[in-house]
């Protein structure tokens, strides 16, 4: 599959995301925030970083970048879209996912190897995992606290839309330990931790993140 | 020239870590008796033309679409020097 990785001004992890896409067995295609052409890709990754300097709110300005009008339209038609960290913030600002990400409750930037439980595995990004799989993936954020009102949180849990949950220690004050969520259809997934930094033994805590990038292929051939 | 002010504040039920940080600093500076601090944003917007209901609506639309996130923030629009 051709997987587009968008570069915004201030993106940091677009290079690692393209590398992870390649290691996962797919073809990485660089996409540019100022160009609404998705270049015929089959899926899109919105990478981590500080797009547009995180001015106003994280993801608030990126959400109106030309490429996002195409991504939002494609997501509505079922194209798989994965937002990692800043990408998750952009998906929330775009209203493709509910809730919002706010500053960590302890007010410090956190960077650590984080244990997670993968809870929803019928998405094109998580189908390589067994339901309930416990994995360790890099987490690094300053504004990673997931918040939403109680009815929204109840709906996310009731409809099984929580994709990943923090284990051991909640690193940022996210309500109900939520680390990642999906839309109803499952094609849009937002995740605060960084699976693209956990795809090779040499760099990172292991290869537990690889599943996010191999799932696409498995999904197509399933 | 029409001028409007948009005040954006975190919703009361949303944790405001920045406000908490300020709240924690005040007693150390000798300001006693401060029970809460909430930190928000103020936007001052200038538009061509005279103030009108239409321009006010325009600014309100800006506040809804870009300046605030309705999930976590409330906003108020008013003319400079006026209360919302």
> How far is B23 from B34, CA to CA, in rounded Å?
7
Report the share of chain B in percent with pLDDT over 90: 94
A51, A61 Cβ separation under 8 angstroms:
yes
**pLDDT > 60? residue A222:** no
Angstroms from A100 CA to nearest CA on chain B: 7
pLDDT at A109 over 70: yes
Tell me if B16 sits within 8 A of B10, measured CB to CB: yes
Instruction: Kindly state whether residue B83 falls inside one of the protein's structural domains.
Output: no
Residue B74 lies in a domain: yes
Structural domain harbouring B25:
2-78
Q: What is the pLDDT of residue A77?
A: 97
The catalytic position among A85, A119, A197, A219 is A85
A196 is catalytic: yes
A2-221: CATH topology: Rossmann fold (3.40.50)
Residue B41 lies in a domain: yes
A14, A62 in Cβ contact below 8 A? no
ipTM (interface pTM): 0.88
Position B40 in a domain: yes
- Structure confidence at residue A217 (pLDDT): 77
A99 and chain B in contact, CB less than 8 A: yes
pLDDT one-digit tens code per residue, B13-44: 999 999 999 999 999 999 999 999 999 999 99
> Closest chain B residue to A89 measured between Cα atoms?
B69
Quick one: A105 exposed, middle or buried, by C-beta within 10 A (0-12, 13-18, 19+)? middle
Determine what percent of chain A is predicted with pLDDT higher than 90.
Answer: 96
- Domain-embedded: residue B84: no
Q: Which of A120, A108, A64 is nearest to A90 (CA)?
A: A64
Summarize pLDDT for A49-94 with one digit per residue, the tens: 999 999 999 999 999 999 999 999 999 999 999 999 999 999 999 9
Overall number of domains in chain B: 1
């Amino acid at each position: 599959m051709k997987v587009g990785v968008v570069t915004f001004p201030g993106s940091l992890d677009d290079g690692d995301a393209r590398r992870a896409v390649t290691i996962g067995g797919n073809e990485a295609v660089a996409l540019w925030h100022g160009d609404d052409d998705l270049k015929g890709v089959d899926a899109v990754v919105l990478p981590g970083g500080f797009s547009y300097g995180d001015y106003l709110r994280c993801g608030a300005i990126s959400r109106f970048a030309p490429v996002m009008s195409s991504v939002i339209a494609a997501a509505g038609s079922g194209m798989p879209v994965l937002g990692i960290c800043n990408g998750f913030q952009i998906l929330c600002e775009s209203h493709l996912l509910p809730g919002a990400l706010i500053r960590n409750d302890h007010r410090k930037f956190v960077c650590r190897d984080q244990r997670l439980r993968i809870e929803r595995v019928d998405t094109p990004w998580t189908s390589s995992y067994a339901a309930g799989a416990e994995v360790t993936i890099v987490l690094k954020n300053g504004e990673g606290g997931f918040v939403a009102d109680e009815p929204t949180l109840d709906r996310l849990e009731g409809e099984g839309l929580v994709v990943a949950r923090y284990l051991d220690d909640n690193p940022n004050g996210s309500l109900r330990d939520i680390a990642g969520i999906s839309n109803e259809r499952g094609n849009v997934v937002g995740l605060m931790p960084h699976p693209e930094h956990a795809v090779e033994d040499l760099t990172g805590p292991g290869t537990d993140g690889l599943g996010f990038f191999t799932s696409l292929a498995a999904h197509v051939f399933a | 020239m029409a001028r409007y002010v948009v005040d954006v504040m975190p919703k009361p039920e949303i944790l405001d870590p920045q406000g908490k940080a300020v709240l924690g600093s005040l007693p150390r500076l000798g300001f006693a008796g401060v029970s809460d601090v909430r930190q928000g944003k103020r936007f001052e917007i200038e538009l061509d033309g005279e103030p009108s209901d239409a321009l006010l609506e325009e600014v309100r639309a800006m506040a809804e679409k870009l300046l605030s996130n309705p999930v976590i923030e409330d906003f108020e629009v008013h003319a400079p020097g006026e209360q919302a």
